[in-house]
Structure formats: structure tokens, C-alpha cells
Structure 1
Amino acid sequence: MSDDRSDPHFETLAIRTQAPVTAEREHSVPLYLTSSFRFDDAEHARALFAEEVSGNVYSRYANPNTDEFVRKLCLLEGGEDGIATASGMSAVFTALAARVSAGDHIVASRALFGSTHQILTRLLPRWGVTSDYADVADPASWERLIRPNTRLLFVETPSNPGLELIDLAWLGALAQSRGIPLVVDNCFATPYLQQPLRLGASVVVHSATKYIDGQGRVLGGAIVGDRAYLADCRFFARHTGPAMSAFNAWLLSKSLETLAVRMDRHCASALRIATHFDGHPAVESVRYPFLPSHPQYALARRQMTQGGGIVVLVLRGGLDAGRRFLDRVRLVSHSANLGDTRTIVTHPASTTHSKLTPAERAAVAIADGLIRVSVGLEHADDIITDLEQALAL
């Protein structure tokens, strides 16, 4: 966003961007729980299906609630267009599958969410689409892996769960110089902390289930970015059906109104927790983007406004230590989700990334003793007290 004070700030856009007020003059946008919409006449129906005019036809295509949610995200991310999907993984799959055909190639960052890895290595190859993984520590590997048939680049930054970062300005410039779209999973950072489209990315994908909802209530996903790219995504989604429900869109749009204040609290507590456990005798290492010991600390400070709400603890003692820790937590939750008001601890090696081979996990620094801590909105002292007692020898 511009520094011109005539432009609304992030928080104001998230709160004041709303669907048009109806004749009832409601202050909060109503729920549009309808599967379809009526046409004015035969010509109106024809024009809508011919896409000569805009309007609502069927809630699998669009709905006033999903439209509002998408419009907010486009403003917050700086995107030209967007679509809402039923889950984060449906957003990832749509963003990939809508743009590739048999014989095409994808270059992705090696550190990816487990389900994204499965799409690239087990699902897309069924249709003749291949992929290669680049090393974030070796920028030259991206250039080396790009082929004439490479159709897109895909990255997570920060990555799940290792919190590896990729220089988006550098990679965006490379993608633009080669004429290849760059797709960024911005789930961990959210548009409040990082805006990849302003750094050269073509498209951003979100699991809105995480921080955008922020309270562990609903599933949702979104794709935002370049208008031409989104046209392909919209066609794919319209005919394959990964539609977000009106109710979920209504909740997620309301949740965006508090995203900034929630992320401020998540980030402040996460930095405090990371600092507290850095050097703890039961902890081999701590990873957090705004912790000076993070190998990409300088990049994090340049690319993100704050460090995010995820802290990684690598426990001494490996698998046994990780299991003992999980069985001893009392206040925090042991779950596979993240981005909730409640602090959540997860053991990726046995859950979210369990389908990866030991060698694949090692390649992305997922140790047996790695614990992902999604720092919630409880008082930081209470979170620290619980983690401390769970780590006690």
C-alpha cells in the first residue's frame, strides 16, 4: 500500500470493504444462503451465461458472500482478481492444475507442506506433469532447473514447518525474466506480514482455515493475483466444483476484520517464546524468522513486517523426547491445525509430513524431535509455563 495517507490502511480496508447494502440497510453483511439466483428475463439469463454482463447465477460460481471475501483479499494482497475455494489444498491444487497440461514442468521449493508434496510427486505425474525441487540455499538451482516446458514456479515462504524463507524479490525477478508465473503460498505470513504480489509473484494462495479464520472454525482457501492467471483458475474451479460455502465466506470475511490485531499478538508472543527457549537445555535449536540466530534473519526483516506466529523447537532426544513432550502439555492443544486463538503443538514427522520418507524429511530439516508451536492468543507467560513443564527432565 502507498504511504499516501489518503489511501486507507490495511486494517481499514479489512473492516470497511463490504458487499453493497440491501434495502434493509444492514450494518453487517447478511448471509446469502441460496444455491441459485433468479434472472430478470430470458435475455438477462443469456447475457449472464455468455459472460456479457456480471451478476450472480449459481453459488458454485459466485455468491455475494464469497465475492466480498475475495474482494477484501484482493485489496489486502494487491491482486487484480481472485477466487475462493473450499479449502487451502483445493486452492493449491486449482492454482497448479489450472495452468498445466501433459508434458509441462513445475519447479518448486523443496520445503513444502506434505499434501502439496503429494500433489507434485504422486497426483500431477498421473497426467504427465513433472516437477523438480530447488534448494532455497542455492539460488542458482532455480535457474538450473528451469526448462523450456516449465510452466510455473511454486514456493512456500516461510515454509511449513521448517520456517525456511525464499527471497521473493529475487525469485520474482527471475520468474518475470523467464516469463514464468511465480505462485506463492502465503499462508504462514498472511497479507498483513508479507505481500508477495508486490515483490514479483503472479499469484498468492492461502489456506484461509489458518490465520485468516484464526479461530479453528471453518475450512477455506483462496487464490489471488494476476487477472489472466485467475481466469484459468476460475474456469477450472467452475467446472470441477471446489466452491467455498456462503457461510464459510461470511465468517472468513468477518475474520479478516481482526486479522491485523490478531497477528500483532501472535507475533509478539511468538518472538517472546522463541527468545525464551533459545538456549534451553532440553532444546537443541529454535527456529523463528525474527530470531537473530535464524540463518535468513536479514531476509526475514527485509521481506516481512513481523516474524509470524509459528515457532519451531527441535528437542534433544529425538522421537522419544518429542512424544514425551506432547504427552505432557496441559494448557496448549495437541492438534494438526495452526493459526488458532489457542496455542497448538504438532509433531510433523508423525502427522502432517508422515507420508514423506525419512530421507525426504531430512532434506527439509524435519527432525524426529521437531515440534511446531502455533502460538495462540493466550497470555505468553501461561504458554511458556506450560511448555516449560512439558520439557522438564
Structure 2
Amino acid sequence: MNHDSNEYNASAALHGGRDESFADAFCEPLALTSAYTFSSAQDAFEKFSGQRQGNVYSRFTNPTVRTFERRMAALEGAQDAAAFATGMGAITALCHALLRQGDNVVCSRDVFGTTIIALRNYMGRFGIEVRLVELTDLDAWARHIDDNTRLVLLESPSNPLLNVADLRGICRIAHAHGARVAVDNTLLTPVFQRPHAFGADLVVHSAGKYIDGQGRALAGVITGSSELVGELRGVLRSLGISCSPFNAWLLLKSLETLEVRMERVADSALALASWLRQQAQVEAVHYTGLAEHPQHALASEQQHGHGGLLSFRLHGGRPAAWAWIDALQLVARCTNIGDTRSMVTHPATTTHCRLSAGEQQAAGICEGLVRLSVGLERLDDLKTDLDTAFSAAKRSLQTRPGNARVYEVAS
């Protein structure tokens, strides 16, 4: 087609340079596209109908997302993986793929608070019974799992109390009844734990936590057998809980530094947990790396490390917890976990605030509980910030009417 040399070429703006190849790029290319071209109508038909593999539409097929899924499957020792928009999107897809009206799901009581809300308030609308059990009570799992159980869902270690499940024991009970077991491995990542090795059918990650490691992206991913992941893909294709290609690209690059980040935060978390045990204002510390942790032996058997998350209880309840949190200067007040920067939150009034008082009590979420996600700062700087906050919080509380006795129990 001939054009005046002084005329703007709209066709060139749309089609020029499209034959450039990215096959030799060292960094994985980012496929920011919603749709794909087909070589023929027959090609489109075969790919849409599943007769032939290939990209169809980025709601459920995208090269960058697929690369991330395959890498996560390799790290978890699984056949396949499916990525989603968020961790809760992954949980939602899991429920839609496996549960039907009349089924029941057995879930540990101390999973992420929003997981319980989603199961109780939304899955319950479709005639699905939700049974909550104590994570560490193997007998309770045996009592609640029956032949109508289709899904067993748990976090180990749990967030924020760091309780540890007997993965092999729970899987054995569930499989005897034909139920699938899904383990949330967000806190440890495949660096420190691989639940498939203990019988888990599916492994779930909120990938915007440690997998990303820098608080930049939201995503979820589930690994498992090709058959089960195929069921998840069916949900993904129809419901569109899609992982952004850009977020998948960020996560791919983050996976390259996952091991060194996890080892660094785990070392710092153990040092801080040991130091916190010695502080007068601290009533108890929850961290699986401490020898006095109730499931320390089990954790050491199932885990290759103990992660970067810990929690602790302060004498004085919410006033003491809030005063300490507000006095921090280096550690950020933030409800996320797994960032390069350390973050702190008060679970009772943030992550678990939608649970009733009874549900919080049953899950061990008390008013004095504080959760700390340890980052990559120098250990000495973190200790200084925490110590300064203890001193500032004590002074603040002692000057408030009615709070003079807050720390007397620890003196």
C-alpha cells in the first residue's frame, strides 16, 4: 500500500516491528497481552477446544504466568501448578473445584482469619458444612473427618501463633475417607517445607508474601497433580480469578533470591525470638525455632528451617500492645508479611478483627498478641528499635490513668 511520505502511517504504528523475536532474552520476557493470534481458523478451534496445547486468552493462558506456574511446581516437587490473582483467589478456586452441595470441609481453627470468613459466610451459602478443629489435635481431625469430607484445609505453621500440624498423620486420616488435603505453605515456602512429601494433595501459597518478598504484587498459586490442577484451571477459565502477567513476572524474578532471603530472615527471627524471651514485658513468644515450642520436635522433622514470622504476648493486653506498636520507629506498622522490611501488626484488631470474640479466643488470638514479620535489616538495629519501643511504651502506659499496674506483673 502506497503512502505519501509526509502522511502519518497508522498501519505501521499497529504492525511495524512485530517480527522481532525475544527468544534469546536472558531475562524472561513479559507477555503483556490479553489475546493471541492463530495461524488459521482450524488452529483457533483446536486450541479453544483443548485438542491442542497453546495460548488462547490471558484469563487462563499466558506465557509469563505459565513460566511462574511451572517454576513453582518444580520447587514444591509437584506435577503442575495454577496461579491466581491473590491467595484468597486461590482458596476460592480450591473450594469451587473440589466442593459440592452436601459436602463438608474440615479446616484448622487457626488459619488466616479471612479463610474462615470465606468458608463460613460464602461457601456455607451453597450447602457446604464447615468444621473447625484444633490444628495440633490429631484425634480431633479423626473425629471430624468423615466420608462426606471432600477437603481438608490447614496452615502449618499457623499464622500468627506458629502452631505445627502433624502433616503425615492428617493426610493419612483424610485419605482414608477419600478427602483431599490442601496445606498453606505461605510462611515457610518450599525453601523450608515441602508438604507434598508428607502426603499433601495440594499446596497453597499467598505469593505476595515471601514468594515476592518485596510487597509489590498480589498473587496466589496452588501446586499439585496434573489432574487436580486441571480442575483448578477449569475454575480459572470460567471464573477469571486470573494472575496478572506483570505480577507473575515480578514473582519469577523474586524466586531467584528466595532461598537467600528466607535463610536471612529465619536467622534474624530466631535471634529476636530468643531475645524477646528475656524481656520483662513479654509473657510468651511463639516461634517454632525455640526449643520450648510445644511442637519444636515435629517442626524440626517436617521443616528445614523456621521462617521469618514470630508472635508474642505482652503483659497488659491491648493497651500494652498498642503502646509498643506505636512506639516503633524502624519496624513498620503494616498487616502484610514477608517483605524485605520488618512489619508489625495487632492481629485481634486487624487480620482477625472480623472473627467474633469467641472465635478469636478459640483461635488463641488475645488482646496482648503482637505479630512480627522480620525483614532484612541489621539485627542490632531491629533489637534497638524493639527495645526502645518497650521503654517508650512502659513510660507511656505508666502516665495514663488506670494503667499504672500494666507492667507490675513482669517486674
TM value normalised by structure 2: 0.89
Q: Distance in 2 between matches of 1:265 and 1:352?
A: 25
Q: Distance in 2 between matches of 1:121 and 1:198?
A: 30
Q: What is the identity, as a one-letter code, of the residue corresponding to 1:313?
A: F
Q: In the alignment, what sits opposite 1:198?
A: 197
Q: Is the 8 A contact 1:310 1:373 kept in 2?
A: yes
TM-aligned CA deviation for residue 97 of structure 1? 2.0
Q: In the alignment, what sits opposite 1:45?
A: 44
Aligned counterparts, 1:158-169, within 5 A: 158-169=157-168
TM-aligned CA deviation for residue 49 of structure 1? 1.2
Q: What is the identity, as a one-letter code, of the residue corresponding to 2:188?
A: A
Q: Distance in 1 between matches of 2:146 and 2:44?
A: 45
Cα deviation digits, residues 177-201 of structure 1 (max 9, x gap): 2221100111111111100011100
1:343 lines up with 2:350 in the alignment: no
Q: In the alignment, what sits opposite 2:107?
A: 108
TM-aligned CA deviation for residue 360 of structure 1? 1.0
1:251 lines up with 2:244 in the alignment: no
Q: Is the 8 A contact 1:95 1:205 kept in 2?
A: no
Cα deviation digits, residues 330-350 of structure 1 (max 9, x gap): 001001101000000010000
Q: What is the identity, as a one-letter code, of the residue corresponding to 1:43?
A: Q
Q: What is the identity, as a one-letter code, of the residue corresponding to 1:336?
A: T
1:260 lines up with 2:259 in the alignment: yes
Q: Is the 8 A contact 2:161 2:310 kept in 1?
A: no
Q: Is the 8 A contact 1:213 1:255 kept in 2?
A: yes
TM-aligned CA deviation for residue 22 of structure 1? 5.0
Q: What is the identity, as a one-letter code, of the residue corresponding to 1:230?
A: V
TM-aligned CA deviation for residue 24 of structure 1? 4.8
Change (3 A) 1:384 1:180: same
Gaps of 5+ in 2: 1-19, 395-411
Q: Distance in 1 between matches of 2:343 and 2:75?
A: 27
Q: What is the identity, as a one-letter code, of the residue corresponding to 1:89?
A: M
Q: Distance in 2 between matches of 1:290 and 1:269?
A: 11
1:224 lines up with 2:223 in the alignment: yes
Count of residues in Structure 1 that have an aligned counterpart in Structure 2: 373
Q: In the alignment, what sits opposite 2:128?
A: 129
TM-aligned CA deviation for residue 138 of structure 1? 2.1
TM value normalised by structure 1: 0.93
Q: Distance in 1 between matches of 2:135 and 2:113?
A: 17
Q: Is the 8 A contact 1:165 1:299 kept in 2?
A: yes
Change (3 A) 1:108 1:48: same
Q: In the alignment, what sits opposite 1:212?
A: 211
Q: Distance in 2 between matches of 1:183 and 1:24?
A: 36
Q: In the alignment, what sits opposite 1:78?
A: 77
TM-aligned CA deviation for residue 92 of structure 1? 1.1
Q: Distance in 1 between matches of 2:276 and 2:113?
A: 27
Q: Distance in 1 between matches of 2:180 and 2:245?
A: 30
Q: What is the identity, as a one-letter code, of the residue corresponding to 1:167?
A: D
Cα deviation digits, residues 60-105 of structure 1 (max 9, x gap): 0111110010000000001111111011110111112211111110
Q: What is the identity, as a one-letter code, of the residue corresponding to 1:350?
A: T
TM-aligned CA deviation for residue 362 of structure 1? 1.2
Q: In the alignment, what sits opposite 1:276?
A: 275
Q: What is the identity, as a one-letter code, of the residue corresponding to 1:26?
A: A
Q: In the alignment, what sits opposite 1:89?
A: 88
Gaps of 5+ in 1: 1-20
Q: In the alignment, what sits opposite 2:53?
A: 54
Q: Distance in 2 between matches of 1:294 and 1:120?
A: 29
TM-aligned CA deviation for residue 356 of structure 1? 0.8
Identity of aligned residues (%): 43
Q: Distance in 2 between matches of 1:172 and 1:189?
A: 19
Name which one, 1 or 2, has greater alpha-carbon Rg.
2
